[in-house]
Amino acid sequence: MAGLNLNDDAPMDVIPEEPVKPPAAIEKLIEEAKATLIAQENGEKRSLSMVVVGHVDAGKSTMMGRLLYELGRMDEKKRVANERGSAKVGKSSFSWAWELDGTQEERERGITMDIALQTLNTPHRVITILDAPGHRDFIPNMISGASQADSALLVVDAAVGEFEAGFERGGQTREHLLLVRSLGVTQVIVAVNKLDQVEWSKSRYDEICNLLKPFLAQSGFHPTKTQFVPVAAMEGINLSQPPPAASPLHSWYKGPTLVDLLDALEPPTRDINAPLRFPISNVFKGATSGIAVSGRVCGGIIVPGERLRIVPGDESAVVKAIDSDGDSLPWAGAGSNVNVTLTGVDPISLNVGSVLCREGQTVPLVSSFTAKIIVFDIQIPITAGTSVELFHHSRDVPASISRLISVLDRSNGSVIKNKPRVLTKNMSAEVEVSLRSSTYSGPASRALPIPLEPFSVNKEMGRILIRRGGETIGAGVVLELLT
């Protein structure tokens, strides 16, 4: 129960049933939602989500806090309270970061540990910001955030030695870029931060850009989907307003601000006609009554009043309400990051990694499958039987690479070699992955299946990451479900 954030003085009973709307009413709601979504695509502000990544201490949370203030999402009273509070504990330089690093431990340690969600409004976009941890101890949390994102903002520290520490082998700049690309993010904005600490040196900015550009291309980001911008988050320079004429940056940079680049991000097409898939990334008490879950709609449309199945398991729940950033919504379509309040369900049935689906359109449960993976820059080769951790959305489970099927050509996917003995760094391969039990013996030793779909059926439900010994060793897509 502790993992569900439900601890309270009194035990929580099953939330009373909410009346289920008749199927005809649900169908009508879904059709109305689809029509509205199509109209939005052609006119109104379009929404997308963005994960903020980068090496620890690059200034990610500070940048987002300052941006929220400049775009009117944080008022003066809150800014002063954060400033006083951070100064009181001797961390005045973290005052902007306090808006996103909300827990006591995050504030005391001065680092982001979990994903923080906020919404930014630019002239043409509504952007859900996922502020991810940079510290390598919290990579699983960062993966959970990246799996919910359409685009990425990479923050790098321009200070001499700091950028190099993040970009060299073992640094999080390199690993975060590989992870977000592997999880389907195709657009990235690189904010070169703390340029004020190198006296706004154009040569330093160019040096960082020239080092990152080939790595971004090698990681799979198309040059046309990659933008660079020089900023100083703490001073608020070139975030929402061009640098003032007195600023040294003004003498050599006449390009767009960070907000200009955010406003130009392209929302991907949403598959609103697909079966509903809502992987749960968090479970918590609802604002009024009931229990709430948060996550991203990975296909289809969800509306209040319908009964949904919780997979795995035989339980179901009724959707009482949907909200985003405190605003109640009449529905949520594919690509939306929302909170869903549920009734008529025992909280013990809701777990991080479970998927909400409609009855008759449930997501398959599998314990083994084939996947096409790309092996990262690893030191120890992968052999058949290698034990790994499998990451899929917010779920991570023990697994093994049970069979090496073939080595593939990275450029065209053709088979180079069948039944290889080992996989080494930068190889592309087809493998069989089998889940392992988290217990070693006894009746519960059988691995529990997880909800998965082939990449060809649902792109977001078909992406996986593979880690070993605290290091991400590969990423790929699910090809075929076996058992």
Q: How far apart are CA 153 and CA 295, in angstroms?
A: 20
Q: Which of 326, 357, 388 is the last residue of a domain?
A: 357
Domain match, 319 and 408 both: no
* Within-domain flag for 303: yes
Domain match, 385 and 338 both: no
Q: Which of 244, 263, 282 is the last residue of a domain?
A: 263
188 pLDDT more than 70 = yes
Domain match, 225 and 305 both: no
Interhelix angle 139-146/172-182, rounded to 10 degrees, is 40
* Within-domain flag for 181: yes
Domain match, 120 and 205 both: yes
Domain membership of residue 139 as a residue range:
46-263
* Within-domain flag for 40: no
Segment of 3-7, 166-170, 307-311 carrying the highest mean pLDDT: 307-311
Domain match, 13 and 78 both: no
Number of structural domains in the chain = 3
* Within-domain flag for 203: yes
Q: How far apart are CA 292 and CA 341, in angstroms?
A: 4
Q: Which of 202, 235, 263 is the last residue of a domain?
A: 263
Q: What is the CATH number of the domain that holds 430?
A: 2.40.30.10
Domain match, 19 and 111 both: no
Domain match, 110 and 179 both: yes
Domain match, 279 and 258 both: no
Q: Cβ atoms within 10 A of the Cβ of 230, count?
A: 26
- Confidence at 184, pLDDT banded by 50, 70, 90: confident
Give the CA radius of gyration of the chain: 23
Q: What is the mean pLDDT of residues 282-287?
A: 80
* pLDDT tens, position by position, 82-101: 666 555 544 444 455 544 54
Domain match, 376 and 341 both: no
In 3D space, the residue among 222, 124, 203, 213 whose CA is nearest the CA of residue 167 turns out to be 213
- 341 burial level (CB within 10 Å; 0-12, 13-18, 19+): buried
- Give the model's pLDDT for residue 24: 65
Q: E strands of 334-437, at which residues?
A: 337-343, 355-357, 365-366, 368-375, 382-383, 386-392, 395-408, 415-418, 422-423, 428-435
Q: How far apart are CA 429 and CA 408, in angstroms?
A: 5
- Lowest average pLDDT, out of 161-165, 204-208, 251-255, goes to 161-165
* pLDDT tens, position by position, 359-410: 999 999 999 999 999 888 788 999 999 999 999 988 889 999 999 999 998 7
Q: What residues pair up with 340 in beta bridges, in sequence order?
A: 293, 322
Domain match, 93 and 232 both: yes
78 pLDDT more than 80 = no
Mean pLDDT of the chain: 81
* Within-domain flag for 114: yes
